[in-house]
Amino acid sequence: MDLPHDDLRARLPRSVLSDLGSWTLYQDFRPFTWPWLLRRGIILWPLAVLAGCTYATWHASGMGTWGDWPGLALRACIASLVAVSAGPLLATLIRHRRLPLVLERALVLLAILFGFWIGVVALTWASAYHAHLMQAYSGQRMQISWFGQAVSNFLAATVNASVFVQILAGGGFAAIYYLGERRRVAQFAASRQIENLRAERNAADMRLAILQAQVEPHFLFNTLASVRSLIASEPERAAGTIDALAAYLRVALPRIRTTGIEEATLGRQIDLCLGYLEIMNVRTAGRIRVHVDASDTVRALPFPPLILLTLVENAMTHGIEPKPGPGMIAIVAGMVDGFLSVSVEDDGLGLQPGTTPGLGLANVSAQLRDRFGTRARFDIASRAGGGVSASIHIPLAFP
């Protein structure tokens, strides 16, 4: 889900704002918003009423004067409700004013402190009424049963809440989460971005599998068609082509099928291309010269699978095979300005007027776009000495 930054009424993932667990009804809303305040009240208002009634019960059971219970309970309940609601209510009113962040935070904290002071006043008001009742019985001998004394002692220990608890009930705990809200929202947004990147990566891997399904049969069918044409006229070359193809497939297919993108290196892709060119050399009666210029450091760098093989196949199919006589294919790789630059050059027929990129080159562009977005570049141009040069530039920080 997208994170609604401006909607103060929107429900947010629980991990954004709170680690309190699933028992709360309001911690998946922003602190000091109306949905948060209402759901917080559903939990705390009954507890405040219970605290007020408990306070009155403590007095009545301890003094044996149950006629004082209604008046004291009413005042104690009102004081408790004010104590837990005043600060959060003021802070909510301030937040919905949408003031500048620094000013909003300062006013929210002041509202919590002011609400705490209001709560102290309210509780003092209820305590003053209780003291008035106690003065009315001063000098009188109270008859308290053993049961009433036990209840009095238990409730006295329970009702004697600390100032710390009062601060938390009055919004102090929520203020902590409010101050950390932007950090939590940023962390959530970052985690969502990572998940989106993983989803995009999985989608790119799926498209890569489709590209593999397109490239591999294309190469195999061309080779088998060549073998078929050679069986009758040149059986020895046909047998040599089959042997070269079998040796290539034993190496190439397991790597293509099982090697992840992160494990695909330029060296492995070059080796696959050399195996392919060996097959093509048998098919063309040895008229292909192959040149590779790539250091061991460059060969160890990550490189997406099948791209280089596609370029080599394209150079062979459209440049070398249609041209009579010997031909040359060169693979040159190096590091330039934070990029890995890989070129496939041939001295074949070159770019013909009116031709459009075929499926193989379209697949190369699609895979680079899926993997690197706008950070990668694919160029194809005519060579000065004839033929074509196809170059790929990808960032060295391989994703």
Q: What is the secondary structure of 281-307 as a DSSP string?
A: HHHTTT-EEEEEE--HHHHTSB--TTH
Position 259 confidence tier, pLDDT thresholds 50, 70, 90: very low
**Residue 97: strand pairing partners:** none
Mean pLDDT within 313-329: 88
The answer to whether 213 and 256 are in contact (CB under 8 A) is no
The answer to whether 375 and 356 are in contact (CB under 8 A) is no
For 192-240, the pLDDT digits (tens) are 777 776 666 666 665 555 555 544 555 677 677 777 777 877 788 778 7
pLDDT at 383: 86
Residues 262, 252: Cα–Cα separation, whole Å: 17
Question: What integer best gives the mean pLDDT of the chain?
Answer: 77
Please report, for residues 39, 119, 207, 282, the alpha-carbon distance to residue 86 in angstroms, rounded to integers and kept in the order given: 15, 7, 58, 89
Residues 126, 135: Cα–Cα separation, whole Å: 15
pLDDT at 62: 72
Query: Hey, what amino acid is at 398?
Result: F
**What token pair was written down for 8?**
């103060």
pLDDT at 20: 44
Q: Which of 249-258, 275-284, 308-317, 369-378 has the lowest mean pLDDT?
A: 249-258
Strand segments, DSSP code E, in the chain are: 288-293, 327-336, 339-346, 377-382, 388-395
pLDDT at 15: 60
130-142: string of b/e by CB count within 10 Å (b at 16+)?
Answer: beebeeeeeeeee
pLDDT at 203: 63
Of the two residues 28 and 47, the one the predictor is more confident about is 47
Q: Where are the domains of the chain?
A: 14-179, 201-395
For 62-82, the pLDDT digits (tens) are 777 888 889 889 998 998 899
Half-sphere exposure of 66 (CA within 13 A, CB side): 3
Please report, for residues 122, 165, 178, 258, 334, the alpha-carbon distance to residue 173 in angstroms, rounded to integers and kept in the order given: 20, 10, 9, 53, 58
Q: Which of 30-34, 188-192, 370-374 has the lowest mean pLDDT?
A: 188-192
The pTM assigned to this predicted structure is 0.47
Half-sphere exposure of 21 (CA within 13 A, CB side): 1
pLDDT at 331: 95
**Residue 392: strand pairing partners:** 342, 378
The answer to whether 159 and 55 are in contact (CB under 8 A) is yes
Half-sphere exposure of 290 (CA within 13 A, CB side): 17
**Residue 345: strand pairing partners:** 330, 389
Q: Residue 352 gets which letter from DSSP?
A: P
Mean pLDDT within 119-143: 74
pLDDT at 168: 64
**Residue 341: strand pairing partners:** 334, 393
Residues 87, 126: Cα–Cα separation, whole Å: 19
Position 358 confidence tier, pLDDT thresholds 50, 70, 90: low
Using the predicted structure, report yes or no on whether residue 23 has a pLDDT greater than 50.
Answer: no
For 132-161, the pLDDT digits (tens) are 887 776 655 444 444 444 444 444 444 444
**What token pair was written down for 96?**
């919905």
Mean pLDDT within 279-302: 88
Using the predicted structure, report yes or no on whether residue 265 has a pLDDT greater than 50.
Answer: yes
Of the two residues 134 and 95, the one the predictor is more confident about is 95
Q: Under 8 Å CB-to-CB from 389, ≥6 apart: which residues?
A: 343, 344, 345, 379, 380, 381, 382, 383
Strand order in 388-395's β-sheet? 288-293, 327-336, 339-346, 388-395, 377-382
Residues 192, 277: Cα–Cα separation, whole Å: 45
Number of CB atoms found within 10 A of residue 352's CB: 8
Q: Domain 201-395 carries which CATH code?
A: 3.30.565.10
Using the predicted structure, report yes or no on whether residue 185 has a pLDDT greater than 90.
Answer: no
pLDDT at 16: 62
Mean pLDDT within 279-291: 84
Residues 355, 347: Cα–Cα separation, whole Å: 18
